[in-house]
Amino acid sequence: MTIQTPVASKGCSDVPVLRERGQREVFCGLTGIVWLHRKMQDAFFLVVGSRTCAHLIQSAAGVMIFAEPRFATAIMEERDLAGLVDANDELDRVVARLLERRPDIKLLFLVGSCPSEVIKLDLSRAAARLSRSHAPAVRVLNYSGSGIETTFTQGEDACLASLVPELPDAAPNAGKSLIVVGALADVVEDQFRRLFDQLGIGPVSFLPPRRTSELPTVGPQTQYLLAQPFLGDTARALDERGAVRLHSNFPLGIEGTTNWLRAAADAWGVSEQHFNTVVQPPQERARKALDHHRERLADKSIFFFPDSQLEVPLARFVSRELGMRPIEIGTPYLHQQHLAAELPLLPQNALLSEGQDVEKQLDRCRAAKPDIVVCGLGLANPLEAEGMTTKWSIELLFTPIQGYEQAGDLAELFARPLVRRSRLEV
């Protein structure tokens, strides 16, 4: 079941990539709902799927802490499949019940799943129909978070891509504007907003917005910065609206954040001197924070299992700013274009792998005996039991890690498992 072809990839970097196909120990795109529903506070996510889908979201992040979550599953049953009932009528009924319970919802996402895709339930038509019947109170959109089409963070990509056609047109004389694309913690968003203000860059908006009434406008004068490396479809949809992508690294670590801000500064013609005046104080703080962790992390080897597509910029950060040694950098999907600024900064001797055959990758990991392994929750405890130190990759999605003020926190995420291991004497 494995097609293993190390290919020298074309494009701007000449890094050879190991491409594997086998068992992929990754989440599907439905998982993104866990953070997206917290980010967009008037949106509701209704998965149209099976009991497995409901069980996945409930288990993925132990999210049972919320009083009543803004997500749910319309679980398909035998009679929906056997055509005994019209699945569309059923969906209308479920949505009506849901909206009755939650009059605060302004935007409803119908989220496609593996079973809904396989039976070819047309959720885009359903969304259009439901939008009409619940207008103007509720807008209904759809996207697929199915495992057959999306891996983990690609669910966010699909969700944001479905929002792009909803963005209002920018007025023809509106002038330049910037959109930061990709869900960020509110605190990180606020920090970036302050930096852009100080740099004189604006107006700046964020996609996704905290409230769906605050959707950014878009037009040919719009430039956008990707805050996350997994947003291929969203970028394409924005390009189609005439927006222009600013090429850059991703805002992880001092170097990544600086290059990311500089891409916008250059587009806005900010002088080098002014740029440096603005970024120097936070850079200095970040440097101090990193110094603290570099001692512990320098020269430690690190092995990334594929998970969130954050692996490449993370490997760049840990190697260049913390002196760690990436052994393998696994990613579920290698977006050469969006990673064009990242790939040349990776250490030469690290193996870059795309896709997964988990058993073979575990063999490589065991043979490499890395000091720390970044992997999913299904693998972490078994690897710890084998004596390895692990960092759960999902925490990198649920923790504010972008920007200068979080550089130290990001380093700490890698340092903590090592510190813990050295502390424990049992």
Nearest distance, CB of residue 270 and other proteins, angstroms: 43
* Contact in structure between 329 and 350 (CB atoms under 8 Å): yes
Nearest distance, CB of residue 71 and other proteins, angstroms: 8
Nearest distance, CB of residue 364 and other proteins, angstroms: 14
Fill in the per-residue mask, 256 to 295: x = in contact with other proteins (CB under 8 A), - = not in contact: ----------------------------------------
Nearest distance, CB of residue 415 and other proteins, angstroms: 22
Nearest distance, CB of residue 426 and other proteins, angstroms: 12
Number of residues that bind other proteins (CB under 8 A): 62
Among residues 34, 36, 43, 87, which is the contact residue for other proteins, using CB under 8 A?
87
Applying the rule CB under 8 A, the residues between 333 and 362 that interact with other proteins are 359
Nearest distance, CB of residue 27 and other proteins, angstroms: 6
By C-beta, is 147 or 403 nearer to other proteins?
147
Among residues 42, 122, 149, 255, which is the contact residue for other proteins, using CB under 8 A?
149
C-alpha to C-alpha distance for 98 and 25, rounded to whole angstroms: 33
Fill in the per-residue mask, 151 to 190: x = in contact with other proteins (CB under 8 A), - = not in contact: x---------------------------------------
By C-beta, is 326 or 376 nearer to other proteins?
376
Nearest distance, CB of residue 5 and other proteins, angstroms: 16
By C-beta, is 165 or 382 nearer to other proteins?
382
**Helix (H), strand (E), coil (C) string for the chain:** CCCCEEEECCCCCCCEEEEEECCCCCCEHHHHHHHHHHHCCCEEEEEEECHHHHHHHHHHCCCCCCCCCCEEEEECCHHHHCCCCCHHHHHHHHHHHHHHHCCCCCEEEEEECHHHHHCCCCHHHHHHHHHHHHCCCCEEEEEECCCCCCECCHHHHHHHHHHHHHCCECCCCCCCEEEEECCCCHHHHHHHHHHHHHHCCCCEEEECCCCHHHCCCECCCEEEEECCCCCHHHHHHHHHCCCEECCCCCCEHHHHHHHHHHHHHHHCCCCHHHHHHHHHHHHHHHHHHHHHHHHHHCCCEEEECCCCCCHHHHHHHHHHHHCCEEEEEEECCCCCCCCCCCHHHCCCCCEEEEEECHHHHHHHHHHHCCCEEEECHHHHHHHHHCCCCEEECCHHHHCCCECHHHHHHHHHHHHHHHHHHHHCCC
230 is written with which tokens? 């997994």
Asked if 218 is part of the footprint of other proteins (rule: CB under 8 A), the reply reads no
86, 337, 379 from 144: Cα distances, Å: 21, 23, 26
Stretch that binds other proteins, among 10-18, 50-58, 169-177, 193-201 (CB under 8 A): 50-58
Among residues 312, 377, 401, 410, which is the contact residue for other proteins, using CB under 8 A?
377
C-alpha to C-alpha distance for 105 and 383, rounded to whole angstroms: 42
Among residues 12, 16, 77, 277, which is the contact residue for other proteins, using CB under 8 A?
77
Applying the rule CB under 8 A, the residues between 16 and 35 that interact with other proteins are 22-31
Nearest distance, CB of residue 326 and other proteins, angstroms: 24
Asked if 5 is part of the footprint of other proteins (rule: CB under 8 A), the reply reads no
Asked if 117 is part of the footprint of other proteins (rule: CB under 8 A), the reply reads yes
Among residues 13, 146, 162, 331, which is the contact residue for other proteins, using CB under 8 A?
146
Asked if 64 is part of the footprint of other proteins (rule: CB under 8 A), the reply reads yes
C-alpha to C-alpha distance for 244 and 134, rounded to whole angstroms: 34
By C-beta, is 74 or 351 nearer to other proteins?
74
* Contact in structure between 54 and 76 (CB atoms under 8 Å): no
Nearest distance, CB of residue 70 and other proteins, angstroms: 10
Asked if 395 is part of the footprint of other proteins (rule: CB under 8 A), the reply reads no
**How many CB atoms are closer than 10 A to CB 185?**
18
26, 376, 385, 419 from 380: Cα distances, Å: 13, 6, 9, 17
Nearest distance, CB of residue 323 and other proteins, angstroms: 31
Nearest distance, CB of residue 66 and other proteins, angstroms: 9
Among residues 18, 36, 76, 322, which is the contact residue for other proteins, using CB under 8 A?
76
Asked if 98 is part of the footprint of other proteins (rule: CB under 8 A), the reply reads yes
* Contact in structure between 281 and 198 (CB atoms under 8 Å): no
Binding site for other proteins (CB under 8 A): 1, 22-31, 48, 50-52, 54-56, 58-60, 62, 64, 67-69, 72-78, 80-81, 87, 90-91, 93-94, 97-98, 114-115, 117-119, 146-149, 151, 359, 376-382, 384-385
